[in-house]
């Protein structure tokens, strides 16, 4: 009597084969990615992980010099520091900048950072004069 009971309650067979397995794998992958994305967003809002918002340290701007080296403008306790990072080396402090000299909301990020770097570079006593250019003669 038990085999008859099991036959009566069985559901229709699920599709099998490579197509069904591929579809199940893709649906599972999408579900895992969605769950990971939701957890990362929730964690960032709570201040967890790398995306957390610290109260004492703030990265003002980052500029990649190449694939392995970058410059960071970092604000720490009212001081603005220019920090260089690279390959396998530890981050190094390049200079401390005047917070008043840093534009608060630059219109164009690259030109603002370039102006900060210009101010951070040591001044040389003998600066070369700009080269004069003459227009080419016209053929007339």
Report yes or no: 94 and 51 within 8 Å, Cβ to Cβ: no
Q: Which two tokens stand for residue 89?
A: 């080396």
pLDDT in tens, 12-35: 666 778 888 999 999 999 999 999
Please give the average per-residue pLDDT across 97-115, as a whole number. Answer: 68
Report yes or no: 116 and 102 within 8 Å, Cβ to Cβ: yes
Please give the average per-residue pLDDT across 35-48, as a whole number. Answer: 83
Q: Which residues does 47 contact at the CB level (< 8 Å), separation at least 6?
A: 53
Q: How confident is the model at residue 131 (pLDDT cuts 50, 70, 90)?
A: low
Find how far residue 8's CA is from the centre of its chain: 59
pTM over 0.85: no
DSSP state of 100: G
Instruction: Return the domain boundaries, the chain.
Output: 17-50, 57-120
Residue 22 or residue 117, greater confidence: 22
Give SS3 for 127: coil
Q: Which residues does 120 contact at the CB level (< 8 Å), separation at least 6?
A: 82, 94, 95, 97
DSSP state of 13: P
What is the pLDDT at residue 108?
A: 52
To the nearest whole percent, how much of the chain has pLDDT over 90? 16
Beta bridge partners of 92: 84
Please give the average per-residue pLDDT across 84-92, as a whole number. Answer: 87
């Amino acid at each position: 009597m038990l085999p008859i009971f099991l036959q009566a309650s069985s559901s229709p067979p699920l599709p099998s084969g490579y197509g069904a397995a591929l579809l199940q794998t893709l649906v599972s992958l999408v579900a895992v990615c969605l769950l990971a994305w939701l957890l990362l967003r929730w964690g960032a809002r709570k201040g967890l992980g790398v995306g957390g918002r610290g109260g004492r340290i703030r990265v003002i701007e980052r500029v990649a010099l190449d694939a392995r080296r970058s410059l960071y403008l970092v604000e720490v306790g009212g001081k603005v520091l220019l920090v260089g990072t690279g390959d396998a080396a530890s981050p190094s402090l390049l200079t401390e900048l005047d917070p008043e000299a840093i534009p608060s909301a630059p219109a164009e990020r690259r030109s603002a950072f370039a102006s900060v770097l210009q101010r951070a570079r040591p001044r040389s006593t003998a600066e070369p004069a700009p080269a004069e250019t003459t227009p080419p003669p016209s053929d007339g």
